[in-house]
Structure 1
Amino acid sequence: MLKADIVLSDLAHSVEWRDGAIFFGGSHIRPYPHPALETLLVRTRGQWFAIVRERSAAIVPIGAESRDVDAEEFGRLYRECMLWPLDYAMVEAAQAGHRLKLRAGALGAAPVYCRAGEDRVVVSWDIADFAGEPSAIDMEIASRRLALRSAYSARQLCVGTMQLTERASLYVEPGKASYRYPSPSEAPEAAPLPADRDALAEFERRLHRVASARPFASARISAELSGGMDSATVAAALAALHGRIASVGILLDGDTRDAQIARRKSIVGRLGLDDATVEIAEYPPSLDLRPQPGQIAGFYWEYYLEACAASWISARSRGGDALFTGIGGDELFPAYADEITQTTPERGDGAEAYAERLLTPRASSAARGLSGFDAPASPVPATSLLAQACRAPYALRHGLWPVNPLADPGLVAFCHRLPREHRQERELMRRYLHAHLGEGVFPRGYVKETFAHVLPALIARHAGAIAAQLRDCALADLGIVDRKAVLALLDSVAATPTPGSVAALAMFLWMERFARQLS
């Protein structure tokens, strides 16, 4: 949501809003320039704070504003900002002692990353801003990622760079920096609905309230539409609120293609969407391990960016600057431990076993011993936060502000507490879609769209080139993987791929490219 380069001694200077940024001495804070955001700078004697936050449809927007206030008003505005209903990033400064605090909101929609030195702090939503700084890969975090044990954490792949996770704070003063996680959220428990409350009506009310929480005109909205239940739910809510909106999506090849196209056609027709698609075959993911000029990989594994970027460009070309996604849908209706029976099918593809074979003994030990670094339980499920962190920097680079209604804390809390009959097999979401699309679009057991076939075919086609590039293996040189084990897995995937072996190899290929980028 913002970028900043702050020398702590500059906090002694007066602070001012000028030309779309905040300046003090030689330091600056630059909000991400987008109509979805507003900036408030509040000053009082000896201290100030600046907040970049999502605009709320329920509160009169301020655009960009600076205020000089007394201590009482300063405290009132500070409390108001802390309770802001949407996402935000906040910088607080005390001139005495040159002290600084960075704080994040609860949604985690577009996280920022921080690097603190003796007398300087660099903050950015874009890892590319750290690319010119000397850095090394964090061996323990890399090992855990390669073992497919990714977690939501302040600690990141580059040594010395941390993510400001949801509700967390970074305190900085000369020669000292400390990071504080928030208190963990309470674990939800299922409970019966009151007799006078209808589950479907309440779900629709809450979903539509979340979808309309930001003051977007219909012409500015684009909805990602894969053809699955999550994205269709978001599109249906937006169409109910705005009428005709734009939708974008990626058409896949393989066994699910015909079903995906038919389902998308039904959704687009019934909701009256202005739809545009891109073909995955025209924008396949790159397996080239060499860092490409001008292409800086983020801190999280994200393939298929080539096709996503093409769809985002399409959205921008039609005037959209707000990208609504279905992120969070997978986590909206969980099954709890006491609800899982022996007849419940277990999910698992052996991916962790394949990944473990790649690691050196030292890396394997590191991968198993880092759980204490994870962020605490949050109002937004950690897997949703990770998905948002994967994609947000790339969407922002294309001028699109990401909105993920199904990851809203209030909607999550409501759905997590529903009785089992509403959560099982996403029953409540299915009923919502039946009401808005008809019962034929998402019948039980429908064939879901999947990217599963994309990478195996590409890896088989380019296995020789990948093996040639792995004559020099950065992760092997770092003592994290065994090069022979990597080549053996590459041969296995090229000959007889399985979902688990492909997942393990794909994570390695991404991490190898990332490690080469640092070197």
Structure 2
Amino acid sequence: MLSFRLRLSDTHSSGWRWDTDRWVLGESWIRPAHATVLNAELELGHGSSACVLVREDKDGESDHTSLLVRTGQIQVSSGVFGTAPLYLVSVAEDLYGSWDLTDLRPHLRPDRLTPRAVARTLSRRHRYSADTLFEGVHRLTERATATFTTTGLTIHYPEPAQHVLEPRTLRAGVDPVGTFDALLTEVVAEWRPAASCIGVEVSGGADSSNVALSTAAADFGSVHTFGLLMGGRIGRLQQARRRELVERLGLRDTSVPAMQHPPFVPGGVRECRVPHDPAGAFYQEAFDVVRQQVAARDCEVIFTGGGGDEINAHHSRTHAVLPAAAPVPWLGEKAIEALDQVDENLAPISVLPVPTLMAFGLHNPAYLKLGIWPVAPLVHPRMVRFMEQLPHELKQGKAMFRNRLRRAGLPESVAAPTEPENFLAVMESGLRSYGLPLLDGMLRESLLVDLGYVDPVALARAREHAEHAPVVPDLLCDTLALEVGLRSLA
């Protein structure tokens, strides 16, 4: 939500002033993210102290980032929502920070990586942590605080968030669908005073369809829907579901054919080597097109269905066991050694679901670059707590979500599709057409091979197998995306 360069010697002075798009003092500057629904304030304290607060300008509980400057000390804290990441790096007496990793490019060394972070990325054992791929670059996780002084930068994790450990029994006469309907619409409507034009990501699935229902009920002035359309029969069924929903709700829809924008497609961010986060999402090329459409319609906020899977999951807060990860045959010795460390330095239990927070870091900065603020209403803290208390049978198969769609008059094909959409065919197309040629180049010259994270002999075998296999192993996408992303920052 903000970017900055802060020099410790400047903390002894006062006189912050606004200049174009930032506050400046000496060699230091603080720039709030450019989004109309964010409110940024600088408050001067005693002596040289100053506090900057950037928060969502809406009713109810909001996301925020705070920055406190005292003599000889800089402190940065984050809120519970984690909508946008904040990356930090210290160099001598300077502290740099940004929600956009590429802003820190002068300090990113692709040849100096964090082994356990690389191992997590290559093996899909993703973890929520202050670790990033780059040595010396830290992520400020939800509710965490970073402190910078002459002794260096330290990250302080918060206490684990409190959660409902077991579902509760519903009282007689309680209507959970009606309660869910009212609560989700209330969460969405908090944005009504802040944004005049709203976008909604609509895939045609139960999560985004429920968000769209509440957005329509909240009576915004202008609502547009956007989404990726998959190919083939699944895509035709998806298109029919989306059409049924937007016509029923009277929304204006824009769709993007995902098959035209698969991973590594010519003209996309990866093929053009545009500097980007190496851990970016598989669907980045396709969603870049969607985001341009959202911006073209002047949407200030985009609602997403993010977190729907997580809040419907059946799990134990006290005996959670992560599923076993698929083996990656081409891991190099350095990555294999680091696999033993993937569960080190983890952030404590968060308020929002961890997979959702991690997805925010991949998906949301590209919206923020366009001045659009992304919001996932399904994982608002009130929604999370409500869903945790529900009996499992109401969440199994997203039963309550689907019943709400039925109650709204939507057909069974929308409420419970027999062939839901997924991105696998698009990924396969990108890997087959554009990924394998990139892999050939990686076999000739590779950062990951040179650093010992990838075994070139095993990777060559995987390349040979992929050429003749009916489906290219999708794990190759992780390795290729990481290699290309690191090179974009070199």
- The TM-score with structure 2 as length reference comes to 0.92
Displacement of 1:234: 0.9
Contact 2:32 2:40 in 1 (8 A): yes
2:464 corresponds to 1:491 = yes
Name the residue aligned to 1:358: 330
1:487 partner amino acid: A
Displacement of 1:217: 6.3
1:510 partner amino acid: A
Query: 1:300-358, CA deviations, whole angstroms, 9 ceiling, x for partnerless residues?
Result: 331222221222211222221211111111101111359x9xxxxxx98x8622x2x12
State the alpha-carbon separation in 2 of the partners of residues 458 and 305 from structure 1. 12
Could you say what secondary structure the match of 1:39 adopts? strand
Given the alignment, which residue of 418, 424, 440 partners 1:446? 418
Name the residue aligned to 1:112: 86
2:126 corresponds to 1:125 = no
Displacement of 1:286: 1.2
Inter-CA distance 403–291: structure 2 relative to 1 (3 Å threshold): closer
Given the alignment, which residue of 188, 200, 204 partners 1:227? 204
Name the residue aligned to 1:56: 58
State the alpha-carbon separation in 1 of the partners of residues 325 and 460 from structure 2. 16
Given the alignment, which residue of 166, 171, 190 partners 2:167? 190
Inter-CA distance 320–134: structure 2 relative to 1 (3 Å threshold): closer
1:352 partner amino acid: A
Could you say what secondary structure the match of 1:371 adopts? coil
Contact 1:351 1:503 in 2 (8 A): no
Contact 2:41 2:52 in 1 (8 A): yes
Instruction: Report 1:247-396 matches (<5 A).
Output: 247-286=225-264, 295-336=274-315, 352-353=326-327, 355=328, 357-396=329-368
Displacement of 1:94: 1.5
Which runs of 5 or more structure 2 residues have no equivalent in the other structure?
A: none
State the alpha-carbon separation in 1 of the partners of residues 228 and 352 from structure 2. 26
Contact 1:325 1:402 in 2 (8 A): yes
Which runs of 5 or more structure 1 residues have no equivalent in the other structure?
A: 59-84, 341-346
2:159 corresponds to 1:157 = no
Query: 1:359-394, CA deviations, whole angstroms, 9 ceiling, x for partnerless residues?
Result: 123311212323121111111011000111101111
Displacement of 1:125: 0.9
Given the alignment, which residue of 85, 89, 102 partners 2:76? 102
Inter-CA distance 430–290: structure 2 relative to 1 (3 Å threshold): closer
Contact 1:7 1:27 in 2 (8 A): yes
- The TM-score with structure 1 as length reference comes to 0.87
Inter-CA distance 3–337: structure 2 relative to 1 (3 Å threshold): closer
Percent identity over the alignment?
Answer: 28
State the alpha-carbon separation in 1 of the partners of residues 73 and 316 from structure 2. 45
1:126 partner amino acid: D
Query: 1:184-209, CA deviations, whole angstroms, 9 ceiling, x for partnerless residues?
Result: 12343211134464211221122112
Name the residue aligned to 2:191: 214
Query: 1:200-244, CA deviations, whole angstroms, 9 ceiling, x for partnerless residues?
Result: 122112211211222456741110111111111111110111266
Could you say what secondary structure the match of 1:123 adopts? strand
Could you say what secondary structure the match of 2:146 adopts? strand
State the alpha-carbon separation in 1 of the partners of residues 253 and 26 from structure 2. 49
Q: What CA RMSD, in Å, does the superposition of the two structures yield over aligned residues?
A: 2.5
State the alpha-carbon separation in 2 of the partners of residues 410 and 266 from structure 1. 30
Contact 1:14 1:25 in 2 (8 A): no
1:482 partner amino acid: D
1:283 partner amino acid: H
2:43 corresponds to 1:38 = no
2:475 partner amino acid: A
State the alpha-carbon separation in 2 of the partners of residues 497 and 93 from structure 1. 58
State the alpha-carbon separation in 1 of the partners of residues 389 and 463 from structure 2. 44
Contact 2:35 2:368 in 1 (8 A): no
Worse-superposed segment, 387-396 or 206-215: 206-215
State the alpha-carbon separation in 2 of the partners of residues 212 and 169 from structure 1. 30
State the alpha-carbon separation in 1 of the partners of residues 466 and 207 from structure 2. 30
Given the alignment, which residue of 410, 413, 430 partners 2:385? 413
2:449 corresponds to 1:476 = yes
Worse-superposed segment, 186-195 or 107-116: 186-195
2:141 corresponds to 1:140 = no
Inter-CA distance 159–277: structure 2 relative to 1 (3 Å threshold): same
Given the alignment, which residue of 245, 270, 286 partners 2:223? 245
Contact 2:204 2:238 in 1 (8 A): yes
Contact 1:154 1:162 in 2 (8 A): yes
State the alpha-carbon separation in 2 of the partners of residues 134 and 238 from structure 1. 40
State the alpha-carbon separation in 2 of the partners of residues 436 and 388 from structure 1. 29
Inter-CA distance 16–196: structure 2 relative to 1 (3 Å threshold): farther
Could you say what secondary structure the match of 2:225 adopts? strand
How many residues align? The count is 480
